[in-house]
Amino acid sequence: MKTILIAEDEKMIRQGLKAMIGRSGVEVEQILECPNGIEALNIIDEQEVSVLFTDIRMPKMDGLALLNALKERTNPPEIVVISGYDDFSYAVEALKCGAKDYLLKPVSREAIYKVMKELEEIIKEKNKLVETMEVIDDILEQQIKYIFLNTSVTKSELCSFEQGFSNHWINQEAYRVFCMHEAIELPTEIEVISCVVENCYIVIAKDEDTKKVEAYYQGKNIGASSSYASIHHLRIAYEQAILARRYAYIMNVPFLNYEDIPTQHNLKIENKDITKLIQLIGTERKEEFEEVFNKILGKDSIEGLIYDDFEKLMEMLIGHILEAYGSLIDIVEFKKVKDFYQYADYTSYQAHLKAYLLELNDKICDTHESNRNNVKMKEALAYIKSNYEKDLNMAMVSNHISMNYSFFSQTFKEYTGMSFVNYIKDVRINKAKELLESTNKKVAEIGYAVGYENEKHFMKVFRSVTGISPTEYRKNSQL
C-alpha cells in the first residue's frame, strides 16, 4: 500500500492505530494522521490515499459526512470505520456508504492485523483490474488509430474489431467523433474514448453527450462528425471531424458540426501577391507590408477560402519564405510557423505569423544595415591609408563617407576593435617603421612624412607604441 490515512480526533487513539498498522506485517509507504473530516478530505484531494481509517464522531466534519463527500471523488480510498458501541447504528450507515469494515473501540491488535490483510488483498485485486483495464484501453486506442489512419481497412478487419468492441457502447449506441486542438480531461460523467492522431486530439463520445462536450470545450475550435452507430463508420466519422475542425479553425468559430460546414467561395490565390509580400520583408515599407499581409492573410480573406485553398496558400507562403530567407531562419522557431494547425484558431496563428515576419523583417534590415556599414568602414580605412600624412581627424573621415559623427565613432570601434585615434596612430607608426628600415631619411623627415609636424611629438608617440626611440628601432633593424 502507498498511503494510509487515520482520521481521529483523539491523539492517543491515532498514535495507537498508527503503531498497530506499522506492525501488521503489511507493507505501507506512509501513514498520515488528521483530527477531523475536513483535513482528511483535503489530504485525499491532494494525494492518492489507499486506505482511510475514520472515526464516526469528530469535530468540524464527522465520519459519515466525510464518507458522503468521498462518494463524489473519482478514486476514493478503501474505508474502515472506527466506532464505539453507542455509535453502532452509525457504523451500519457507514457500511452502506461504502465502508469495507468497521472496528469497535477499543480497537484490538488482532482486529487491525486482520483488516489490514483483507485490505491488502482487496487493493492487489483492484490494482490488477486497473492494469488490465489500462491494457484493454491501450489495445482499444491502437485499434482505433489503425482504423483512422488506414485507408484500406478490410471488412473482415472491421468485423474482428467489432467483436473486440462488443462490450463497449461504441457498438451499442450512437456516437460522434470530435477533433480539437488540445487534450483536456473531461468530467467523469462524460464517457469517452480519446487518443492523439497526427497531432490532433480525437474524442469519441456518445451522441447524447455532444452538447456536454461542446460546452466543456467552449472556445476550443472543435469539429464534430455526424452521428453514427457502427464501428464500420468510424473512419468516415474521423474524416468528417477533421474537416469540420479545419473549417472551425479557418472560420474562427468555437464549434462546428460536419453538417454545418458552409459553402465556401473558391477564391483564386494570386502568386504575385505572395511574391510582393515576400519582397517587402527586409525593407522599411512596413505600412505597405501590413496592407499586403491583411489583403492575403487577413481574417476576412481567409474565412472565404475552402480549406484546400487555405492549405495551398500557407504552403506557398512558407515555401517562398524558406526559398528567400532560408539562411537567416531558425528551424525551431520556423516550425511554429509551418505547423499552423497547432494553434487553437487562425486568429492566434495570424498574430504569431505577422509578429514572426516583422521580426524577420527587422533581422534582415539589421543585416543590410550592418553590410552597408561594413562597406562604409572599408571606404573609411582606405581613405585613412591614402591620407594618413595629412592632419586627419574623425570629423573629416566621417564627413567623407557621409556618416553621423557619433555613429561613425561607435561603428568604427566595432569594426576595427580600436578607437579612431589609436587606429591612426598605428597606421602612421607602421609606415614610419617601413621608412626607418628602408631609407636614410632623418627622423624628423620621417615624422613629417607620416603626419607629425613636431619631431618631439613624433618621437614620443613612437616610443609609446614600440617601447623604443625611432633611432634605436633603425639600429635594431639593421643588425
Looking at residue 329, what is its pLDDT?
81
Strands (E), 50-171: 51-55, 78-83, 101-104
CA distance 348 to 249: 10
Question: What percent of the chain is modeled with pLDDT above 70?
Answer: 90
pLDDT per position as a tens digit, 274-312: 888 888 888 778 888 888 888 888 877 787 677 778 888
pLDDT recorded at residue 87: 62
Q: What is the pLDDT of residues 91-148, one digit of tens each?
A: 677 777 778 888 888 888 899 999 999 898 888 888 776 665 555 456 677 777 877 7
Tell me which of 264 and 348 has the higher pLDDT.
Answer: 348
384: nearest Cα among 416, 341, 427: 427
pLDDT number for residue 339: 83
Q: Mapping DSSP to helix (H, G, I), strand (E, B) and coil, where does residue 192 land?
A: strand
| Alpha carbons 94 and 70: distance in angstroms, whole number | 12
What pLDDT is attached to residue 462? 93
Question: Cα–Cα distance between 254 and 283 in angstroms, integer?
Answer: 37
Q: Report the amino acid identity of residue 71.
A: K
Gap between the Cα atoms of 275 and 271, Å rounded: 6
- Checking 294-303 for CB contacts under 8 A at 24+ apart, the result is 297/350, 297/353, 297/354, 298/350, 299/252, 299/346, 299/347, 299/350, 301/267, 302/250, 302/346, 302/350, 303/250, 303/251, 303/252
Give the pLDDT confidence score for residue 266 in this predicted structure. 57
Residue 222 host element (H or E): strand 222-224
Q: Which of 152-161, 402-411, 463-472 has the lowest mean pLDDT?
A: 152-161
Mean per-residue pLDDT of the chain = 83
Residues 363-394 pLDDT 10s: 877 777 777 777 888 889 999 999 999 888 99
- What would the grid cell of residue 122 be? 482487496
221-233 confidence digits (pLDDT tens) = 789 999 988 878 8
> At residue 449, does pLDDT exceed 90?
yes
Residue 79: pLDDT above 80? Answer: yes
* Arithmetic mean of pLDDT, 421-435: 92
Please state the rounded mean pLDDT for residues 8-28: 90
Confidence of residue 171 (pLDDT cuts 50, 70, 90): low
Going 109 to 114 to 120 to 123, the CA torsion angle's sign is negative
Q: Does residue 56 carry a pLDDT above 70?
A: yes
Give the phi and the psi of residue 167 in degrees, each rounded to 5. -95, 5
Stated pTM of the model? 0.48
The span from the CA of 425 to the CA of 460, in Å, is: 12
Q: What is d(CA 217, CA 50) in angstroms, rounded to the nearest whole number? A: 32
Percent of the chain with pLDDT over 90: 19
Higher pLDDT, 29 or 368: 29
> Can you give the pLDDT at residue 265?
57
| Average pLDDT rounded to a whole number, residues 85-91 | 65
Contact 51, 4 (CB under 8 A): yes
CATH entry, 372-477, from 2.20.28.120, 3.30.420.480, 1.10.230.10, 1.10.10.60: 1.10.10.60
- Please check whether the two domains, 3-127 and 372-477, share a CATH topology: no
Q: What is residue 269's DSSP assignment?
A: P
In sequence order, which residues have a C-beta less than 8 Å from that of residue 115 and are 6 or more positions away? 80, 100, 101, 103
C-alpha triplet 167, 172, 178: angle, nearest 5°: 100
Q: Look at residue 52 in the predicted model and tell me its pLDDT.
A: 92
pLDDT of residue 463: 92
Distance of CA 98 to the CA centre of its chain: 42
Whole-number pLDDT of residue 19:
92
Please determine, for residue 67, whether its predicted confidence score (pLDDT) is greater than 90: no
Q: pLDDT class for 18, splitting at 50, 70, 90?
A: very high
- For position 427, what pLDDT does the model report? 92
Q: In what order do the strands lie in the sheet with 30-34?
A: 30-34, 3-7, 51-55, 78-83, 101-104
Query: Domain residues of the chain, as ranges?
Result: 3-127, 150-260, 271-367, 372-477
Confidence (pLDDT) at 137: 59
Contact 148, 158 (CB under 8 A): no
CA–CA separation, 6 and 23 (whole Å)? 15
Please give the CATH topology (third level) of the domain spanning 3-127: Rossmann fold (3.40.50)
If you compute the radius of gyration of the chain from its CA atoms, what whole number of angstroms results?
A: 40
Q: What is the pLDDT of residue 286?
A: 85
Between CA 26 and CA 33 the distance in angstroms is 18
Question: What does the H/E/C string look like for 334-359?
Answer: HHHHHCHHHCCCHHHHHHHHHHHHHH
What integer pLDDT is reported at residue 285 of this predicted model? 84
User: Quick one: pLDDT at residue 457?
Assistant: 92
pLDDT value for 100: 81
Q: Give the pLDDT of residue 121.
A: 87
